[in-house]
Amino acid sequence: MANVELTHRNGVAIVTLNRPPVNALELTIVEELHDKLDEAVRSPARAVVLTGSGSCFSAGLDVKVVPHYPADKRRRVIMAINRTVHRLYGVAKPVVAGVNGHAIGGGLVLSLACDMRIAADGESRLGLTEVRVGVPFPAVPMMVVQAELDCNAARDLSLSGRVVHPREAHQMGLIDEVNASDTLIERTCDLALSLASGPVYAEVKHQLRARAMARMAQAIADETDPMLEFTLPTQ
């Protein structure tokens, strides 16, 4: 079974994280996500939706697995995260996150790397919990947090590690809309196609993100991420 699935619906490529039970991130799913994004870009789809299977968008880094990797594989997964988040952030087509459930740590970062974010209403939690689990941000995810969040929201969430419900996340600017869970994907696809109707969408998106994208690309090329030398705590 694939860890990431790609389906199509009415001109939208739907990329679904599918690693039960919580779509946690380790090397295989991160590399598969990069490949599926490439497929979605090459496809005739006019827009992309990123979502998760089950009741969780993504719980972020799999802290039960990744810290036990040998050193070379830990470096590989950090670089894969940087490359995949950079790829997601730079997709020329509209990309909308359908945050179907919990979005924690790297899971929330993936949603922030999309152009717009719609969360399912309910009791799910969203947060940047790295400080609580003893895992700093890789370079590119932190650049996304800095670029996409208001400085007060970024400071609050990243330094406290607290989590919030979708409606508070909406108030803070983490997400753009709260929608009923049973129509989340339909609404997310509709928004993605609406964005795709802009005739110069790709050009304006590039103008908006080019500076951050260049910084990300440089960090990847130089392999200067401090996380490459960080020893992850084991659970």
pLDDT digits 0-9 by tens, 179-231: 999 999 999 999 999 999 999 999 999 999 999 999 999 999 999 888 888 88
Count, in order, helices (H) and strands (E) of the chain. Answer: 9, 10
CA 93, distance to chain mean position in Å, is 16
- Topology of the domain comprising 4-182: 2-enoyl-CoA Hydratase; Chain A, domain 1 (3.90.226)
Q: How is 216-227 classified by DSSP, letter by letter?
A: HHHHHHHT--GG
State the distance between the two ends of the chain, measured CA to CA, in whole angstroms.
27
Average pLDDT across each block of 10 residues of the chain; the chain has 235 residues. List them in order. Answer: 94 98 97 98 98 96 93 94 98 98 98 98 96 92 97 96 97 97 98 98 98 96 88 74
pLDDT for residue 177? 98
Segment holding 163, helix H or strand E: strand 163-164
pLDDT for residue 235? 64
- Give the whole-angstrom CA distance, residue 116 versus residue 7: 20
Question: Domain locations in the chain?
Answer: 4-182
Query: Which of the residues are catalytic?
Result: 130
- Tokens in use for 111? 């949603």
pLDDT for residue 183? 98
Radius of gyration of the chain from its Cα atoms, rounded to whole angstroms? 16
CA nearest neighbour of 167 among 136, 111, 123: 123
- Tokens in use for 202? 């790709």
- Give the whole-angstrom CA distance, residue 235 versus residue 228: 19
Segment holding 31, helix H or strand E: helix 27-42
